[in-house]
Amino acid sequence: MSSLSEAELPFLSYPVNPRAEYLQHPDYARPRLEIGRDRKAQLLRMLEILYGPGLAASTYPELERILQVHHAYKSPALVAQEAGFDPRERLTERDVIAITYGEIVSKSHRPPLEILHDILLLFLRGVINTVHILPFFPYSSDRGFSVIDYKQVDPRLGTWREIRSMHRNFRLMFDGVVNHISAESEWFREFLNGNPDYADFFRSFETRDRLSSEHLKLIMRPRVSDVLTKYDTLNGTRWVWTTFSPDQIDLNYRNPQVLLRMLDVLLFYVRKGADLIRLDAATYLWEELGTTCAHLEQTHAIIRLFRAAFDEVAPHTVLITETNVPQEDNFSYFGDGTNEAHMVYNFSLPPVVLHTFLAGDCTRLNRWAANLETPGDQTTILHMLDTHDGIGLLGGRGVLSDREIDNLVQTTIAHGGLVGYRTDRQGRQSPYELNIPWYQALNGFDPVDPIPLQVARYLASRSIALVLQGVPGIYLPAIVGSLDRVTDHSQLDEPRSINRTLVTEERLFERLTNPESAYHEVMVRFRDMLSARISHRAFHPNAPQRVIESPPTVFALERIHPDTHAPVWCFTNVTAAALCFSLETSYTLWRDLLSARFFRAQNGVLRLSLEPYEVLWLEPARD
């Protein structure tokens, strides 16, 4: 792929991101922001939950100063834009999020972020409007999620210039890695050096015995590694809290300075182009011995404080909590629908959809989807099937049976994948995630089915995330490298790397532009599905949905246009067999949004035939 500059390809240079820009420097000539009484009271309430009345009162002035500084960066155009902002339209049917690392190709002489921008413009322009660039900061492990410096771009990926360039064409989503920081960060080095300013930035103990076996049994763990890691400091040995790995040091929000520093980081991201911010591992922000150390009241108070601060000075920005837990706990981060996350990840969907297609039965999916709802019109759900980590299993608990989850584990192993484990409350290792590319999870590593059937199965599964009420998230490597399989595990530095493989720039371009390539077919057909989705108001995040009674081999969902109240009926055959079924309808003629075919009802009955893994999105048409 040759270098594609905006000057060389002006037809690719079109404005997509409508948000006005921030100023490069704060304008202190304008009157400073005055925080209203109600907002101040709201922020103080959250501080009091965390620190008590005295420390809350002494912390508030610095919090207010951070908000005032951020406000001073706003351009007049941005201030005017925010004045007419409707929070119900923060996200619409046009929002589709591509999830990707900054580097998705190997062996290139150009900055990876520049190449990523080109790939998005070449292959997904007009159907993807938002890009979630997974942590693009300097890091020491976990492919970016052990951040060394929150405010720098990893020079191996590019600079803030490439981020700004991408922001002109796409809304951007940044990771706020708010739970932990790298052991190689300046913050942690200063802790080791005995700097008193950083003494309480991390939760630490002088002896390991401070965390008893009874405490350990209660703590909810996402990993099998020790929760305490030994470090030698200027002041002696310290056992430091490390939820995820010895290199990922948990931040101590008991210290208000940590809270203020992280709020400053998040607002810095907004000024640098973040339209959405993902709060990574939000589940574990507060530790309290004698509890699960997950979903605590203080954790929710931190999220509410972030939300209140953003409502005051960055109302366009979407806060997303990443909480890979069962659905009830996950959805608790919506709060009352107005005071915590705007959006949460749907971690139940991946295991449920995978089970549906492996079993050829929608019973579980139908039952779950029939009860899917959020607490208000300012909240929604991010639907994805796979991520950089793989396919989480905790979200499937309570929806799938233990036997069905075990079947997913065994099928993943049989299909050439790996399984990640965590330590449960009984001290046992239990499956936590499936590390396998989505195409391989569905079709196996040596499938006997012909490629057209494999592709149809893959695209049918993708359609589920596109039709549900919410916003779809697409893991980009699974689209541009859709048919890739990984069976040689010897070269993986960790199980999750199976979903993080790279391909050369030339190879990627060849795959996606060759009309004879199955990769090309997947891209073209998937683009068509996205184009149909973003063009219809019935797929607005707030548009109602209803599961339609149908055979268990068909996922059938009704979406309702919020203005005309006309339905769109979405059907997906989840099996390799052709099938026929009928539905009663008051409409005579229906048109498929995907193929433009027409279907006529007779005497109030619509009879449909679906080919293996066929997808239909039908809307009423004029006769």
pLDDT tens-digit map of 216-250: 889 998 888 899 999 999 999 999 999 999 999 99
Mean pLDDT of the chain: 93
On whether residue 226 sits in a domain, the answer given is: no
pLDDT digits (tens, 9 = 90+) for 385-404: 998 888 999 999 999 999 99
Together in a domain, 465 and 567: no
- Please state the separation of Cα 274 from the chain's center in Å: 14
**pLDDT exceeds cutoff 90 at 424:** no
> Is 59 within the bounds of a domain?
no
Say if residue 476 is in the same domain as residue 576. no
Please tell me the pTM assigned to this model. Answer: 0.94
Picking from 512, 539, 566, the residue at the C-terminal end of a domain is 539
Residue 131 included in any domain? yes
User: What is residue 478's three-state secondary structure?
Assistant: helix
User: Is 433 found in the same domain as 523?
Assistant: yes
Position 2 scores a pLDDT of: 36
Same domain flag for 437 and 564: no
Confidence of residue 446 (pLDDT cuts 50, 70, 90): confident
Token pair in block for residue 432: 């936590």
What residue numbers bound the domain in which 586 lies?
Answer: 545-620
Assess if residue 53 is contained within a domain.
no
Q: In sequence order, what are the beta bridge partners of 382?
A: 345, 471
In this prediction, what percent of the chain has a pLDDT beyond 90? 84
Same domain, 329 and 367: yes
Enumerate the β-bridge partners of residue 277.
174, 319
In a domain, 68, yes or no: no
| Catalytic-labelled residue, pool 250, 264, 280, 389 | 280
Clarify whether residues 567 and 442 are in a common domain: no
Residues 352, 398 within the same domain: yes
Could you report the per-residue pLDDT of 322-365, keeping only the tens digit for each? 998 999 999 999 999 999 999 999 999 999 999 999 999 999 99
Is residue 134 over pLDDT 90? yes
Instruction: Please say which residue of 539, 572, 593 terminates a domain.
Output: 539
How is residue 396 written in tokens?
Answer: 């499937």
Residue 107 has pLDDT above 90, yes or no: no
Please enumerate in sequence order all residues whose Cβ is within 8 A of that of 622, keeping only pairs 6 or more positions apart, or say none. 589
**Separation between Cα atoms, residue 227 and residue 250, nearest integer Å:** 10
Query: DSSP assignment of 385-450, as one string?
Result: S--SS-EESGGGBTTB-HHHHHHHHHHHHHTT-EEEEEE-TTS-EEEEEEES-HHHHHH-SS--S-
Residue after which a domain boundary falls, among 523, 539, 555: 539
* CB of 434 closer than 8 Å to CB of 394: no
- Least Cα distance to 101 among 86, 88, 115, 81 occurs for 115
Q: Are residues 553 and 433 in the same domain?
A: no
Whether 86 is a known active-site residue: answer: no
Q: Same domain, yes or no, for 570 and 592?
A: yes
Give the dihedral sign, CA 56/60/61/63: positive
Q: Are residues 495 and 461 located together in one domain of the fold? A: yes
Whether 242 maps to a domain, the answer reads no
Question: What is the CA 562 to chain-centroid distance, rounded?
Answer: 26
Token pair of 176 as six digits: 């706020």
Whole-angstrom distance, CA of residue 490 vs CA of residue 479: 25
pLDDT digits (tens, 9 = 90+) for 471-528: 999 999 888 887 777 767 777 767 777 777 788 889 899 999 999 999 999 999 999 9
Q: Do residue 370 and residue 479 come from a single domain?
A: yes
Mean pLDDT of 594-618: 98
452 shares its domain with 582: no
Within a domain: 409: yes
Read off the pLDDT of residues 278-300 as tens digits, 9 standing for 90 and up.
999 999 999 999 999 999 999 99
Helices 518-534 and 505-513 sit at what angle, rounded to 10 degrees? Answer: 70
Per-residue pLDDT band at 16 (split at 50, 70, 90): low
Check which CATH number belongs to the domain holding 603 and give it.
2.60.40.1180
Is there a domain that residue 24 lies in?
A: no
How far apart are alpha carbons 11 and 169 in whole angstroms? 12
pLDDT digits (tens, 9 = 90+) for 176-191: 999 999 999 999 999 9
**Overall domain count for the chain:** 2
Instruction: Supply the pLDDT for residue 4.
Output: 34
What CATH number does residue 457 fall under?
3.20.20.80
